[in-house]
Amino acid sequence: MNEAGALFGQAYQAFEEGRFEAARTLARQIEAAHPRHGGAQYVLGLVALSTDDVREAVRRLDRAVKATPMAAAPRVQLARALVRLGRPEPAAEQYRLALAIAPDHAPTWAAQAETLCALGRLEEAEAAIGKALALDPAYAEALALAGQIAESRGDPEAAIARYRQAQSADPSDRRGASLALARLGAAPLPERAPAAHVRAVFDQYAERFDDALSNRLDYRAPELLAQALKPHLGPRPAAILDLGCGTGLAGRALRPLADRLEGIDLSPRMIERAQALSLYDRLSVGDLLEGSLDIGPFDAVVAADVLVYMGDLDPVLGRVATWLRKEGLFAFTVERQEGEGFGIGPAQRYAHSEAYLRQAAARIGFRVRTLEEAATRSEGGRPVPGYVVVLGRSEAPP
């Protein structure tokens, strides 16, 4: 093996191990001696994609494709980067070319199907997902995507069958098939979104989360919650928990209110992003309803866009109450449902009625300090109706 080949092997191994700076340094050594080395451009593109420099990733991966036109992997990664940039049409073309080179890779067929579905090319998407399932009939993510495509094509019976297969193939339900089945009336509504589904969504979404929410979805929950919470806090600096802190978007709004700011989230990748902000005094990975969490007590717990993954709020309110000091506050946002109770919408997020929120608060021993209608985000250019809520603990937790 020549020197460039040996360095490429080291650079790629460093990337696989998450040592991005080492991978970048080694790849640049190759590039300095061999400017058109496809492997060096490939590693530099992978590092850029993994560190959220998507435009640089496209530039590097495009060079890798031109240097090694008969290699499938650079085309697949270029397609992923193009999807991240909001350019699904050229992404679909790169997936097509990659599959012409390496047609026996089920995940690439599934990625192509998802891209074609986003373009509204449903017949082609259905054919592509069929190829993925022919290669791997128990591929849970492909089965769930087949359900989504069938639903988009107006065939709920086929969608239900595929979602059931997906649930059977993956009992942890990373793709949220149980939520889709409930939405279609084919299964009872779960009390909460599967933890594996929420973790998978946000691990996958971590690198583009801030841009998507702030710049594309007009996300306002952190600012609205900070504004609602501030009048109810006492004169001294507060100990605050950012529940479901994600990448730390809410931390920016909460830090000025906090003497101590802690964050907890299901997603390890989200926590990694939050750590880079240096806003939090402590960050933890954990599920608020599972296991024992060594946290608290707090003057306030804040949950921005978190309870949209919970249906029955009694367990959440009960757990939060144990973390609060006497007269502590719980501030959160939810999406709004008309009428009674709670339900699930087309985006597979829960929505709650005002009556349900008031009843749940009373059951757990909270009193409502603030309950206001507000749109905390937009989808498809339209505000999503919701509530900003501040509850005060009025008695010892049950």
Assign residue 56 the CATH number of its domain.
1.25.40.10
Q: Which of 279-287's residues contact partners 24+ apart within 8 Å by CB, and which partners?
A: 279/248, 279/251, 279/252, 279/255, 280/242, 280/245, 280/248, 280/251, 283/245, 287/195
Q: Is 207 found in the same domain as 186?
A: no
Q: Is 238 found in the same domain as 182?
A: no
Name the percent of the chain lying above pLDDT 90: 74
The alpha carbon dihedral of 101, 103, 107, 109 has a sign of positive
CA separation for the pair 48, 57 (Å, rounded): 5
Q: Where is the domain boundary, 190, 224, 248?
A: 190
CA separation for the pair 26, 126 (Å, rounded): 41
CA separation for the pair 88, 92 (Å, rounded): 6
Q: Where is the domain boundary, 168, 190, 212?
A: 190
Q: Is 311 found in the same domain as 382?
A: yes
Q: Is 378 found in the same domain as 244?
A: yes
Q: Residue 337: give its domain's CATH number.
A: 3.40.50.150
Q: Is 34 found in the same domain as 183?
A: yes
Q: Is 62 found in the same domain as 209?
A: no
Q: How far, in Å, are 6, 7, 38, 199, 334 from residue 1 at the CA level?
A: 6, 10, 16, 41, 58
Q: Is 377 found in the same domain as 269?
A: yes
Banded pLDDT at 6 (limits 50, 70, 90): confident
- Those residues whose C-beta lies under 8 Å from the C-beta of residue 40, and which sit 6 or more positions away, are 4, 8, 11, 27, 28, 30, 31, 34
- Please write the tens of the pLDDT for every residue from 329-388: 999 999 999 888 999 987 889 999 999 999 999 999 999 999 999 998 888 778 899 999
Residue-range definition of the domain harbouring residue 249: 201-393
Into how many domains does the chain fold?
2
Q: Is the residue at 398 inside a domain?
A: no
pLDDT attached to residue 207:
55
Q: Is 215 found in the same domain as 184?
A: no
Residue 398 pLDDT > 90, yes or no? no
Q: Is the residue at 361 inside a domain?
A: yes
Q: Is the residue at 292 inside a domain?
A: yes
Q: Is 274 found in the same domain as 384?
A: yes
CA separation for the pair 203, 266 (Å, rounded): 9
The count of other CB atoms within 10 Å of the CB of residue 306 is 23
Q: Where is the domain boundary, 163, 190, 217?
A: 190
Residue 205 pLDDT > 80, yes or no? no
pLDDT attached to residue 215:
47
